[in-house]
Structure 1
Amino acid sequence: MLDYVAVDYGAAVSDGKVSNQFEYDEMIEFSKSVAERIASLPASPNKSALQQAAEELRQSIVARRPAGEVAQRARGLAAALLTEHPVPLAPRKAPDMERAVTLFAQNCASCHGSAGRSPPSQLMNIDPPPIDFTDQQRARERSAFGLYQVITQGIEGTTMSSFASLPDQDRWALALYAGGIAFPNKTEGQRIWNDRPEVRQLIPNLETLVTITPSQLAKQIGDKQALAVIAYLRANPHVVAADRGSDGLDLVRETLSESLAAYEQGDRARANELALSAYLDGFEPLEAVLSTRDGNLMLEVEQALSAFRSSINSGVRPAELRAQLDGMEPLLDRAESALAPEAATSISTFLGAFTILLREGLEALLVVIAMIAFVRKSERTEVLPYVHGGWVAALLAGVFTWAAATYFVTISGASRELTEGFGALLAAVVLVSVGIWMHGKSHADEWRRYIQEKMGKALSRRSAWFLFGLAFVVVYREVFETILFYAALWNPQNSGTILAGALSALALLAVLAWMMLRYSRKLPITQFFRYSAVLIAVLAVVLAGKGVGALQEAGLLSITLLEGIPRVDLIGFYPAVEPVAAQVITAAILFFGFRRHVGLRRSDAVPA
């Protein structure tokens, strides 16, 4: 409301006279409402000073003081309010401005016009009419934060309703988009931003970007330059947030503190939402780099964040949650040191790139090699193109994912964990059925019966496409995770080292693939199926744990921690009831499936 007064009072009063009675009455009403709302705030050391400032603002409006004086009082009171009662001033990460175009068309164009230039004719008679966002004089006085507040709360007595139902990031995207319509010179703004480091120092972060007004920036760099820079940055907020480095840990600290405050106020749902954001928006983007420098520390921090969310869900006393947060600080300090630029070495970068690709590639390789060996031993090589087509399609989909993540969209932490989680669970379900089937063929009589049934005809088209789908799902899950890890590690300075690590891992994977294919040819058919069934069963159990663990990290499933037990990422063991239960259930299904085939073979062996 104070931002609205600061911007629109000049349209109501000119030279000490009322120029628009409706606007002036609205300014009187808003100033009175501001005073009433300040009076209703909780007691604080400076509450009386805030009330005094609110009364002085109201009196200056009643006295029809100059617009500059009223705007200064309104903004001064707003700043004092935020100091006394802090609220988040900026988005947690750069909003998706491509999405903002669609959001504006869906939610705003009906009142403000499709491009925000002027309201539709049928709304022009409303007093006041919807804002014309191309009005540069008024836009110069608006901050994106002020627009965000209006979008969130609406404005009483006007047609502007609240859009609080939209996600927070969407409201920030709309605020930046609407606030940039009046300033079209983005190209000049980009040139100034790139060429003048002193301008970049004036807007070092998202909080500054969304709180500064064009007129405030104009006082520091000149009017024309300020409008161009604002045009560029409001359209491209990611350039302000692009080089966060270990600053993401500051976001983790800040968000966890907000989570604790919400919990202490009894808002458990909000506390859990903030705790999840601390992981997905703050820590998860740093996991790839931290895992290459100190993998054990990465797991410790991740487990501590999970324990914090688990404590919120279980309803511990606020003092216990605060103690957990205090205990997390040394971990975050260690992570900050590990993530510092000077902590990076060529060896750590090489080993990180090498181990990531080797680990993810090996999981996919084991399944694909088993499928190829099975097809060859079945003498059904006509379906080999389906197997190869599956893993090749997964690699191509991975290239598309890399391009999309690099040039078109930002893959959020939640999207990443959900993709990994559902992909792992789907692969686990398929592998369970494949493992039980293979174990059933690990007996000579059973294999001969299978060959006789299939002799003379190719595998069905349905079976061939099943092999294609299995190869695609298993490989794409690993490709997806590898690409996102590499995207987090990549920068022009270490690109050569990363490529060397990746090529070394690929060379070793190629050698392993050749050895496994060569060895599988020498194995008797029944042993091949027995060993393959066991291998696939182990992978199914591992993926079941990883899948449930990823869905927990995305906030889709609750967490019931098993205290004092370490996490073992290699086997997909997460110290929580839910992923352990998933692994136990998967193992039980495999066990009884294997036993069933053993029982059937014994019954077949008994003479009738």
Structure 2
Amino acid sequence: MVKWVRFCRTKLSGYLVVLFTCFSVINVYATETKEVNLSPLFIQLSDIMGEVKENNVQQAKIQLTDLAQNFTQFPQHTSVAGNAVSQAIEQAQTDLNQFSLTRISSALLAFEKEQHPIDVQAQKHQFEKRVLPAFVLLRQRIAEGNLEQIKVQYRIFNTIWVQNERTVRDVSLSYYGEIETAMALLRISIETTPVDFVKIDRKAQILDDLFQAYLSGQKAQIKVVGDYNLSDGITLLEEGLTAFKQGNINLGQEKLTHFIQIWPIIEGQVSTRNPSLYTQLESQIPIIVAQGKDLKQQQALQRLIGSLNQINPHQAYTMLDAMLILLREGLEALLVVMALVSALRVANRPQGYKWVTGGVVTGLMASILVAFALHTFFPSISSGANREVIEGIVGIIAVVMILTIGVWLHSKSSIQSWNAYLKQHMGKALTTGGFISLFSLSFLAVFREGAETILFYVGILPNISLTDFSLGIGAAILILLLLSLVMIKTSVKLPVPTMFRLLTWLLYILGFKILGVSVHSLQLIGYLPLKIIDSLPTIEWIGFYATTQTVFAQILYLAAIILLQRYMQLQEKRA
């Protein structure tokens, strides 16, 4: 019996070793052959090109750093083609322009081909076997001249093409773009009334020629060049819609045809964010081109434009937003500091001025150090989608802070409350610890507001141009300087309660915008669902996006404001 147990134990151990070895080999093989998905990098690169095109160079550099970090996450990034990508990124970081970014795109394509070697002949064979038979049937239907049968067969052919388009796209992006454009133009000719079978046949022949050229290995002729992004496509659709509404059908068709021509360049920005919308655009745009004078088609185009605006990443805050944040936070610190200065003047203790000044300067320096640390470490701890998650969450936190700040401001909007607030701080500084208290209070007033300001700016910096950001800060500083001069000379006459009341409502408006942009940014990366409300418009400058989730969040926000205002009014009556 003992021998039998030993025999079984020996055999079992041997089997376990063999199984472990097999699983280890399989695991290593799976790790080494894991598919490299570069789609997120291409989307990020497209966003960088958009920032450069809009002269947001600083933001483009931050995103380029993120792209470089994301690329190094691939275990294969040190391959021959991977090193070429790294070199292209380094050159772009030194000389950032559209040309250097295009070199990164080319290097990424080469890296993708290196990691996924393509059997060109096998791909062409699959195309010839799966796609061409449906196209041959389509040409037969065109020759027969039965429009309904042509439409039915085109839909069948298009479905088969969508299922097998990688057999062309993976081999030649140029041919893929030309075929997509030719198919859209063929669809337009089919949907145009009155029907012109000669024109339909001519468009089908163009597509046939492209298929034969691709299969024979001829070099594709690149007809559309340039750096296009989703915003360019939306602009073309908007211009086309305007032309259709004005009765200029030819111009409308020209604009939408141009959109079709650049579609292969920008389609990745749509398909990865909203696959359903991608399908709608490919199927509906050709029909709209053919029937653009029809009101229903114009309405369909309007809905498509609205849906595209929902997923367009290039949304921005303005100079006014940047100014309002610093103005509000700076004013609170300024009021505390000026209260201390006034108290020192009344008490005839000028030696305390330097302590107040020291606290202010130290608070400013500490705020600047925090800002630099944030600027240095924030890009490294958050990249790609993670950055947008942090932006969205920080934005929502900022909105909660705005509600609490609004309550504080409201409580200071009466003369009695404001006078009580001043007496509290002056008494604390002048009677509990002398000049050290003056230094501490002025430091904390400035640093606390500086920290809040930085938190607000974290949420908006990625979505505001450097020019608007700088102008907003400059304008806020200028206004604060003017206010400080007025307060020094005529502190009694300054309408502080009115200023607080005005700032309260301006802050609430800013909070409405930040909430909308933050929720929408989380929708774009899939952290929140996105359900579009077709009957509502998108108003970007106020942060209103026509989705169920953003509208619901903003309704809750407005309800919270109303309840807080009501609560403060009841508190004042009881007092």
Please, what TM-score do these two structures have when normalized by structure 2? Answer: 0.44
Q: Which has the higher helix share?
A: 2
Higher relative contact order (CA 8 A, sep 6+): 2
Please, what TM-score do these two structures have when normalized by structure 1? Answer: 0.42
